[in-house]
Amino acid sequence: MTITSAVYPGSFDPITYGHIDIVRRAKKLFARLLIAVVANPNKTPFFSIEERVAITKAALDEVGITGVEVISYDGLLIDCAKAYKVDAIVRGLRANSDFDYEFQMALTNRDLDSDIETVFFMTAGRYSFLSSSIVKEVKRYGGDVSSFVPGCVEQALARKFGH
């Protein structure tokens, strides 16, 4: 089997330069790459699903990444992967703490459909600490997040926080 297409799922609440780094690198390996913004019922997102999709699209445009489809989904990731006929799931790893969860999810997805592979990307070192939660926390208190997210994301955060 040749892997030609992949889906990169996440809450992207909001998308960060760490996420964008993974997108940029995954795009080099896969002819078709989808970003799937998840409507996770176990989390209370800061931005609505529609806002996260729009912000993600705007951020990719701002950094010059084209040819990536941004979708939203609700339910099992493996069902999303099947529906969009992708061969692989892209996941980013920052630290050991990410690995345990991601390992469990990869094995579960393999049990659900052994034809869909999970491909892990180690984050770039400069983004190893970066998370959407940290970005929101810094911006909540008026901090500068311009080195963490594109300008359109920073503006969306400022509007949401009323800055």
**DSSP string covering 54-108:** HHHHHHHHHTT--SEEEEEE-S-HHHHHHHTT-SEEEEEE-SHHHHHHHHHHHHH
Say which of 52, 91, 132, 139 is annotated catalytic.
132
Say which of 19, 52, 91, 139 is annotated catalytic.
19
The answer to whether residue 163 is catalytic is no
The answer to whether residue 19 is catalytic is yes
Nearest Cα residue to 6 out of 46, 41, 36: 36
d(CA 65, CA 88): 20
The answer to whether residue 94 is catalytic is yes
Say which of 32, 94, 110, 160 is annotated catalytic.
94
The answer to whether residue 132 is catalytic is yes
- Residues belonging to the active site: 19, 43, 94, 132
